[in-house]
Structure 1
Amino acid sequence: DFMKQSQGMLLLYTMKNPSFPEYVFSSESGIMCLDFHNNHPSLVAVGFYDGNVAVYNLKKATSQPSYKSGAKSGKHTEPVWQVKWQKDDLDNNLNFFSVSSDGRIVSWTLVKNELVHTDVIKLAVEGTTMQEPEGLQLQILGSGTSFDFHKKIDYLFLVGTEEGKIYKCSKCYSSQFLDVFEAHHMAVDSVSWNPYHLKVFISCSSDWTVKIWDHTIKTPMFVYDLRSAVGDVAWAPYSSTVFAAVTANGK
């Protein structure tokens, strides 16, 4: 229930002792997603159910995050479904992206002791600009559920939505999409570029399917029906043709 936030937790384990966490961080809102920084393994970015994002530093002996967004500093108005660290910006600042049901993709930069936000793109649903009686134009936003950044083309990224569409976006254009795929009938739960084949990406959905795409073609190359909602997919790190998926019925 979005109005009744309960406690969230971030637990970190070592392989030596998987039965009890080494680190425990409590939060006022549930934690929906996390991402470790590749070059700074002590930094973890997290996204909360209440729309905030934060960065925890495991080297600091505090239970509070080192950085956290707030109502004044651009927090999302809906749950954050995914966060991902990016390459350092031109001023060598650490930064990460977040995606939320509120339709905003936001870039967060760690500057001194605060998070500075920039809206990278807003997912407008085509043909849904409502004309209000007072002449105001209301745009209905699509709900972002997942995203992934291209491994080699730095500006290119994909966004999956609750409506089943996948948008191909550029970090350089905030007002339009490069392409839209009518990918699934229900929410896109995960989307991921292939680490070896630079044109290929995979998507999975609550509509029971996993689909493999060439981003230059509007229809999927492969469709797998797994007979249950597919919560996540991941490419194998060692092979361009192997992927894993996990379904709602526990397989």
Structure 2
Amino acid sequence: MGNDKYVVRPMQTFSGAPKNKQIQTDNIGVVEEGTTATIWDIFDSFCVQNETPESEKADYLETTVNTSKGQEKIGEKSSSSSTTVSTGCTISSMSEMEMSGNSLNVESDSQLIMSSESFQHSLLVMERSIVANTFQPKLAAYRQLPIPEDPDSTVKPGIKVQSEEGEESSLSPTLERLWAFTCELSRGRNITSMAWNKENLDLLAVGYGDWDSRTEKPSLICCWSLKNPMWPERVFYCQSCVTSLDFSSNNPNQLGVGMYDGTVAIYNVQSRNNVTCIANSRECSNKHLHPVWQVNWTKKETTLSGMDRGEALVAVAADGRITKWLFSGNSLDCIDLMKLKKSQHFKKNTVETDVIISPMTPGLCVDFHPTDSSIYLTGTCEGLIQKCSIFNSQNFLDTYKKHFCPVNHVEWSPFSSDVFLSCSSDWTIQLWKQDLFTPVLSVTSSQRAVLAVRWSPNSSTVFAAINGRQVEIWDLTLSIRHPTIVHHAAAGVRLTSLLFVKGNDCVLVGDSEGQVTVYQLKNLSVGEGKQVDRLNDIIHSAVSW
């Protein structure tokens, strides 16, 4: 006071912002424990205290007091009559139980984390990201996208010097291998059938099995996704060998399955639990007793108002019956659409024998008309192609006679509803027009049975065929006598299944080693003009010739 420089001024000190510090510790386990003190325990403890020197007695008393306080803090019940001996036992047992409890908690926590849905989903996303990064150039070629350059590649883009022969060979049509759907689970298993999902074009169902093998390996159905070509998204084990697959259009999660023992089943590929088979025909009294060679989802007949009633699963089997399967509770029930009777009448032998000849001929394939779901084609072991209607179960509409061996596959053209293809074990592929009873075009390339033939969904004049040893790509605009591309299988490998990819120039080939190889059609350009007109022009020229 009294100083001229003194000024009264208030000040305020601000405290710093509070900080949250997180630490990780083991959980403190709380265990309740009780003990019983008898008169002899009290007497023995009293004797021990009297025999103990004063310094050790003080240490004992201090330990007893600290232990009792600690037990009160963790909520345990301790009696005032507890002795130092019993207290020592309590401390040792508590430490052991806490250690064991912590280890059990750690193990249980890790198991809960590994089995949680969020952790499994995170692993799935991470796995797909790594696989997509690995297969990025191949997937880009599959999607017909520009292939990005690899920044880690040591090859610099320079001037490529090629000979004239090399240039000509690089421009010729060929099959370029992109990748193969295979894993340890499917390796060495014979592929019997393949089917694309009609809603999700990135989902492929593959059936594995071998009815000719003497080893009883369980049959598999694997659902592969383009997001992970190294491991299937779903794996289903079947009791019998899978012979045919087909996805539903109305219910894309339902997969129709035909088996070698005559069973027809429907699987739910969306389910993750063990209950994946929605229904099967094992309990049906009218089930097939012979192999079901093909299943096909077809639309039911429409009502008078024009509304669609849904879909039905149609199966053709070796017992000569074509059946339509419908849900009946938790099982499947069927009605016969057609019974394939033999066309030749065998005369009865004068000598009596015990051999009973069946009046039915086995059916091998079936395909429904692309615009009229009531009309379908079926191929038989007699080499005949029968045109049938679901409204007439007694008589055939038409019969196409040219093959003299079993008709292995028949398929309508996706561009022209009057044209269909057939292949047979007589080494030939026949091109038919619906109103003509003789084939428009007959092609053959090798002296082997043709197992399957498929139309290209992108070009009306392109189709593919396999005969066990090679896959053939035919382009009728280039040649009607020789295949445009011939790709041979590796030594000891047999090609068994074939499927085109809708929307791009790729074809899938399944073999006897459990590999589904994806090939890209290189230098096979689609001609100008409308697809239907191009196919009709070839047919007219073939008929006039």
TM-score (norm 1): 0.90
Alignment of 1:99-114 (within 5 A): 99-114=316-331
RMSD: 2.5
Residue in structure 2 matching 1:146, options 348, 365, 381: 365
Aligned to 1:11: 222
Shift of 1:59: 2.3
> Where is the strand percentage greater, Structure 1 or Structure 2?
1
Using structure 2 for the length normalisation, give the TM-score: 0.43
Change (3 A) 1:144 1:41: same
CA distance in 2, matches of 1:50, 1:236: 32
Q: 1:94 to 1:156 in 2, by over 3 A?
A: closer
Identity over aligned pairs, percent = 37
- Flag the structure with more relative contact order, 1 or 2, with Cα contacts below 8 A and sequence separation at least 6: 2
Task: Classify 1:58/1:152 alpha carbon distance in 2 versus 1 (closer, same or farther; 3 Å).
Answer: same
Aligned positions of 1:143-222 closer than 5 A: 143-222=362-441
Aligned to 1:97: 314
- Residue 18 of structure 1 aligns with an amino acid whose one-letter code is P
Displacement of 1:117: 0.4
1:247 to 439, 443, 467: 467
Task: Output aligned runs, 1:20-39, within 5 Å.
Answer: 20-39=231-250
Matched with 1:233 is 453
Largest Rg, 1 or 2: 2
Unaligned runs of 5+ in 2: 1-211, 304-308, 472-545
**28-37 vs 82-91, greater mean Cα deviation:** 82-91
SS in 2 for 1:189: strand
Give the secondary structure class of the aligned counterpart of 2:316: strand
Q: Which amino acid aligns with 1:13?
A: W
Separation in 1 of the partners of 2:450 and 2:275? Answer: 34
CA contact (8 A) 1:5 1:28 kept: no
Report the Cα distance in structure 1 between the residues aligned to 2:392 and 2:216, rounded to whole angstroms.
35
User: Would you say how many aligned residue pairs link Structure 1 and Structure 2?
Assistant: 248
Deviation at 1:86, TM superposition (A): 1.3
2:337 alignment counterpart = 120
Distance 1:116 1:84 in 2: 16
**1:145 CA drift (Å):** 0.3
Q: Distance in 2 between matches of 1:102 and 1:3?
A: 23
Superposition deviation, residue 211 in structure 1: 0.6
Amino acid at match of 1:24: V
Q: Find 1:87's aligned residue among 266, 277, 299.
A: 299
SS of residue paired to 2:322: strand
Whichever residue aligns with residue 417 of structure 2, its letter is L
Pair 1:244–1:178, CA change in 2 (3 A): same
